Amino acid sequence: MKVLLVVIDAATPRVVGPAIQTGRLPTLQRLIERGSYHDTCTTIFPSITPAATTSIITGEYPASSGIVGASWFEEATQNVAYHGDDFWIMAREGFRSFLDDFLIGLNGDRLVAPTLFEIVERTGLRAACVNYLIFKGLHQHEVKMPMALRILPGVRRKEYVLGPSIIAIGDFLTTHTMRGKPLDQVGGVLHRFGMDDASTSELLFELAEDTFPDFTVAYFADNDYRSHEVGPYEALEVVERVDRGLSRAFQAAGGLEKVLEEMFVIVTSDHGHCEVLPDHDRGAICLDQILGEFKQAVLGRPWTEGDEIMICPNMRATQIYFRRATARHVRRAIMAALSDTRVDHAIYRSHDIDGVRDHFWVQSRRGGLEFWRAAAGAHATDAFGTTWSWQGDLGVVDGRVDGDRLVWGDYPNAFERMAGALEHPYSATLWFTARPGCEFEVPGGDAHLGGASHGGLHALESYCPLIVAGPTRVELPVHMRSIDIAPLCLNLLGIPSRHRVGEPRQA
């Protein structure tokens, strides 16, 4: 049996669900009629694209995948890892650095968990990647830089990366041309070098016209870009175009009914979107000013003499590294941040402050909460079977106990998601999240005022739609996470999986 996994960046259930019900997304509607739909599939923390897309394709939290956000500090190399796509950073740091992070770092040594591409093709099946950001596989491919980048200082003409046997990564890499056109004529600067939805739709169409391999991943990025600008509701037209592109691909493969006789189709997103207020004074949290009492490293650069903290922004979340972390310094930073009513939570590992290992703290203006994994019978168990203990006010993360079950409100699966990031060896000592309507802003990088953003713990940015349709109906559990999609794909392909769907997780 074959599997097609479609990831629509930032598709938000509270937008997509009503659009399906009112007929604006007829292809997705037909898939749901033939299958199952889940509107609260929960992403990881931080809910940001590089880490979230990694969790989908590996089935792991950041602590186990190696990708802990869009930006973090690597102590071993004393370098800042940056996997965002902000043009101001690319221009300042140079496209050579950006390409190294994207092509070599994100799909190289930083990624420590096997991808579905690797797992599937080790069994002898064939896999295809269409513009998905995480493409590490078993086969070596030559990257040819687009002409527009080739002329820039420091950009090498060729690179070599590992990917699946069938791969198309924009203008950078493909195992076939699009109807014989040179790649530079397909993508280019105006089409984000072939990484936009029009390119993905065309590549998927041509793959469908031929024969889908055993496992295919297709990634549509435009909805995230547009949602950042205007918000998820106004960006719905982008998802409508994806819906039409999927319909065209299915027609090329003989029609949806024929497709669903031969393969399972899974549609999901990597995170949702939370609206950001249009007024700068209300919507933008200027961390460099809030933490002005500390000498700060230059954004994106290693430590220099006299630096006390390093800010690694992740939109609605941010990591704060301390040159020499002490309890006093960390608590000063927490007090400074929480004095701003737009900051939602301060999160940190206990052993960085008081030496207690495997414990975590989360604080807000209403109080504090220490939590840790516990033996069965101590306190309460979450929906996925992990038993947690805590001290303090569960209301800090909108949690409550119903019988012996831990139940979440505005911060779904909060304990597991926070631990899944903080257990990464390069996780910062301290994380901050923003309240709904707000985003962290740093010098040179503007908040998405009047648009939307993501990265934090809130349900608005944490829920993803999940559609599964195929030859047989797949009954989805009541509770689903993005890390369950990889084992689900392997189950449908008949391949043994390290994890089971819905099982407890820890690094």
Q: Look at 80-94, 321-335, 487-501 and tell me which has the smallest mean pLDDT.
A: 80-94
The pLDDT of residue 181 is 47
User: Is the per-residue pLDDT at 393 higher than 90?
Assistant: yes
**Percent of the chain whose predicted confidence (pLDDT) is above 90:** 75
Calculate mean pLDDT across residues 476-493: 97
Which DSSP category does 413 fall into?
Answer: T
The pLDDT of residue 169 is 87
CB 218 within 8 A of CB 3: no
CB 67 within 8 A of CB 54: yes
What is the signed CA dihedral for 203, 204, 209, 214, rounded to 10 degrees? Answer: 120
Tens-place pLDDT, residues 226-283: 999 999 999 999 999 999 999 999 999 999 999 999 999 999 999 999 999 999 999 9
User: Is the per-residue pLDDT at 416 higher than 90?
Assistant: yes
The pLDDT of residue 182 is 41
Q: Is the dihedral of CA 7, 9, 14, 20 positive or negative?
A: negative
Sheet strands (E) in 94-134 = 127-130
Calculate mean pLDDT across residues 120-138: 97
What element of type H or E holds 432?
A: strand 430-434
Give residue 231's identity as a one-letter amino acid code: G
Q: Look at 96-110, 271-285, 458-472 and tell me which has the smallest mean pLDDT.
A: 96-110
What element of type H or E holds 103?
A: none
3-state secondary structure of 92: helix
Check whether the bond before 425 is cis (ω within 30° of 0).
no
CB 42 within 8 A of CB 417: yes
Q: What are phi and psi of 469, to 5 degrees?
A: -140, 150
* Cβ neighbourhood burial of 310 (10 Å; 0-12, 13-18, 19+): buried
The pLDDT of residue 10 is 97
3-state secondary structure of 347: strand
Q: State the Cα–Cα distance between residues 480 and 38, nearest whole angstrom.
A: 8
User: Is the per-residue pLDDT at 357 higher than 80?
Assistant: no
Is pLDDT larger for residue 429 or for residue 357?
429
CB 502 within 8 A of CB 13: no
Long-range pairs of 497-503 with CB within 8 A, sequence gap ≥ 24:
497/59, 498/59, 499/59, 501/477, 502/384, 502/385, 502/477, 503/384, 503/385
Q: Look at 10-24, 56-70, 91-105, 171-185 and tell me which has the smallest mean pLDDT.
A: 171-185
What is the signed CA dihedral for 370, 373, 374, 379, rounded to 10 degrees? Answer: 60
How many helices (H) and strands (E) the chain has is answered by 19, 26
Q: State the Cα–Cα distance between residues 129 and 131, nearest whole angstrom.
A: 6
The pLDDT of residue 97 is 61
> CB-based contacts of 449: which residues, under 8 Å, 6+ apart?
276, 277, 278, 279, 280, 283, 284
Tell me what the pLDDT averaged over the chain comes to. 90
pTM: 0.94
Expressed in angstroms, the distance from the first to the final Cα of the chain is 31
Calculate mean pLDDT across residues 106-125: 95
The pLDDT of residue 373 is 92
Q: Domains of the chain (ranges plus CATH)? A: 2-48+115-276+458-493 (3.40.720.10), 280-450 (no CATH)
Calculate mean pLDDT across residues 471-480: 95
